[in-house]
Amino acid sequence: MGYFIEVEPNVNLYVEDVNPGSCKTIVFIHGWPANHRMFEYQFDQLPAMGYRCIGIDLRGFGNSDKPWRGYDYDQSADDIRCVVDALGLENFVLGGHSTGGGIVIRYMARHNGYGVAKLALFAAAAPSLIQRPYFPHGLRKEDVDKMIQDTLNDRPKMLRGFGDMFFFQYVSQPFSDWFFQLGLQAAGWSTAAVANSWLDEERLFADLEAICVPTLILHGIHDRVCLFPLAIAQHEGIKNSKLVPFKYSGHGLFYDQRDKFNKELVQFVEE
């Protein structure tokens, strides 16, 4: 079932809630510039295994409202808290992909992990998506600047290029077209604003230290967006974390190795 939850006046987020009768809940936070539908191949399988799967379209993306402002990590974390409160969620697993991974880390620090029993990071954009003087492992700032300009000048072309570097395994043209449409559902201004937030977001280094729940880190070794050294930094920075490299995956490990992805996630939930 799908519904809208108000997170501030005149701003509503779309939430997909599958198998709401289950007491085993996994909340999925999508990456840039897609929406909750990127987890289709998890939502196809996990509810049949007894899990409640909740997908949230972040503001500016998917079916959620697209206000002009509010695209920093703090606001996104606060939006998630509003959904958690509205649904009365407790003892759930919180998972985030790419930028969504950075946002769930911010949620853990900013809201003291409210309601979260376990954390799962999927190719997370943390502790920094871009290279910094003290962190050489991310993308070059110039490449992100270009991505932002391409978003504002020719967003469909930018999305095609981004999709081409997203997966490591072969994807069919129809699948590529479907994934492209996920990005088009976002607003251009929100797509650019979130990308711009990567440049200034440095607090995730400290946020990692605030995580005190068991944490699963799934990351493709061929990831060209969030490079694999980011996963190593996450593992080193989060106590009680487990890193599982995906040898045949890029940034889209939830599809590249979907069976392994689902198996590792379920095993982690049940531990």
Which of 234, 230, 212 is CA-nearest to residue 221? Answer: 230
- Look at residue 21 in the predicted model and tell me its pLDDT: 87
Q: Residue 203 in 3-state DSSP?
A: coil
177 is catalytic: no
From 64, 76, 98, 249, the catalytic residue: 98
At residue 1, the pLDDT reads 83
Range of the domain at 27: 2-270
Quote the distance between the C-alpha of residue 189 and its chain's center. 19
Is the previous residue joined to 67 through a cis bond, with omega within 30 degrees of 0? no
Question: Structural domain tally of the chain?
Answer: 1
Q: What is the pLDDT of residue 48?
A: 96
DSSP states along 4-65: EEEEETTEEEEEEEESTT-S-EEEEEPPTT--GGGGHHHHTTGGGGT-EEEEE--TTSTTS-
Ranges of residues in the chain with a pLDDT under 70 are none
Q: What is the reported pLDDT for 233?
A: 97
Strand partners, 118: 93
DSSP code of residue 243? E
Identify the CATH number of the domain in which residue 147 sits. Answer: 3.40.50.1820
Q: What is the DSSP string of 115-143?
A: TEEEEEEES---S-SB-BTTBTTSB-HHH
Annotation marks residue 17 as catalytic: no
pLDDT in tens, 67-116: 999 999 999 999 999 999 999 999 999 999 999 999 999 999 999 999 99
pLDDT of 40 reads 98
Catalytic choice (190, 207, 251, 256) = 251
- Cβ contact 17:52 at 8 Å: yes
Catalytic-residue membership of 128 = no
Marked catalytic residue, from 64, 223, 241, 256: 223
29 beta partners: 56, 96
